[in-house]
Structure 1
Amino acid sequence: MTGDFGRLLAAETRKMRRAPVAVICTAIIVAAPALLAAGAILALRANSSSSFAAKARLLVHGSGWTAYLGTGAQVMAVAVLLCLGFGFAWCFGREFTEGTVAGLFGLPAGRGAIALAKCTVLLIWSLLASVASTLVLVGMGLVLGDLGSQPPRWWLPLGVCLLSACNTFPLAWLATVTRGYLGAVGGLIGLVVATQLVTSFGGGGWFPWAVPGLWSGLGGADIHVAGIQLVLPVAVAVISIVATTMRWRRLELGNA
């Protein structure tokens, strides 16, 4: 069984490495936060009157490394959810959309093991993308200069990335239930809209999909997220992985 699971991991890893959606999404996650955060800081330094500078003044809180890393973390909260969301939807949904799910029934490993292998690869992808994005963000800050002696709270953007990644796991279950990635993409859009609505009514702190953004400072510098609220996205990921694995175990061809 261990050998079968290892082969499943290798196969799913090859699929993700060769998938254009994974390459494009990873590039956006790694590059966009650093570029936008640096652009915001430079626009404020130049005292620009452009529309970008006006928006930067709303996002940037504090000064130096705190302002730079906080801005990057805010971008990460959105970019990771959207980009990994597309990747998760594709990973599970493609099997149904492209008709390859039938071939999976002939593998010696159980269908639950296949789902668990997919979730494991997605978890590793999320971790690597989060670490790479954080390193690039800090590196860009060092190049930018004049931010202070050392980056305080460097772990904030990394934590925001990982929590946002946890919030994307329900899309794996949704792609399985709807038997395609379009349903999961629709669910992703619904989550984004729901997050905006819940946050606007003041309940974002207890809505898992709003927690990473609020922690990064998207709701303002005065909003604080409690430790127990940071656990909510992790709980979402665990529940989603279990639910997706169980759904795949009961999966039947031709039945919803």
Structure 2
Amino acid sequence: MTMSSKNPKAPEVSRRRARNSLSHEEILEAALKMTEADGLAQLSMPALARNLGCAVMSIYKYFRNKDALLDALAHRVMRDLHRRLPPAGDGDWDVELVAYFTAYRDLMEDTPAYREVVLYASTSVVRAALTPAQWRRLDTGIGLLHRAGLPLSDAVRVYNVCYNFTRAYVAYEHTVRAAASNRPDTEGAAEDPLDGAEYPLLAALPDPTAAIDINEDGFRLSLELLTAGISRTFGIPLTA
């Protein structure tokens, strides 16, 4: 009986890449793709090493720890994307403020890596990665409110509220969509109509869940309500 040179039951040996074949840029690119696919919370040195087919210690030759990797990742994301987010214009403050933060939300919605870094990286990591263009954008954003008549300290406080509202809205949108994508598809399933006698207002709506939905129209209205509140609180007139 002739023995085959191949044993189909033999365990597979994972193939490791050649020694010294890694590069700083390749590691960073792999970290970026993992962040876009799985989120920043899932990025770890062991997971990155498995993705690259190398030992964890090979990565530590280029990045001394995860914080160093996150710093480099944040710099990469900020460097690549700052051109897509221009500074605020010199139009009416309330119109420009809505446009400014709408563009910010759109960028986070369209670019997973940017969203993950801005939402989930530490403030110190994000601050260290700010480019001169982004510092200018921040300066002009605060300038919108300062030019409208707010003292600089109040302009900073109001900007901070709008900034964190935008981040929170995007984070919630992302959470809702991620949860929906993990549920079974029920598209086309008939919903039982609400009892008009018990719920007269909701039953009159084409879609009663519109009251608890989250969408772009709701975000824009939120910004408009914020600007109206800023106007009343600080006594600066709306122009829109």
Q: TM-score, normalised by structure 2?
A: 0.38
Structure with higher RCO (Cα < 8 A, 6+ apart): 1
Task: Write 1 or 2 for the structure with the bigger share of helix.
Answer: 1
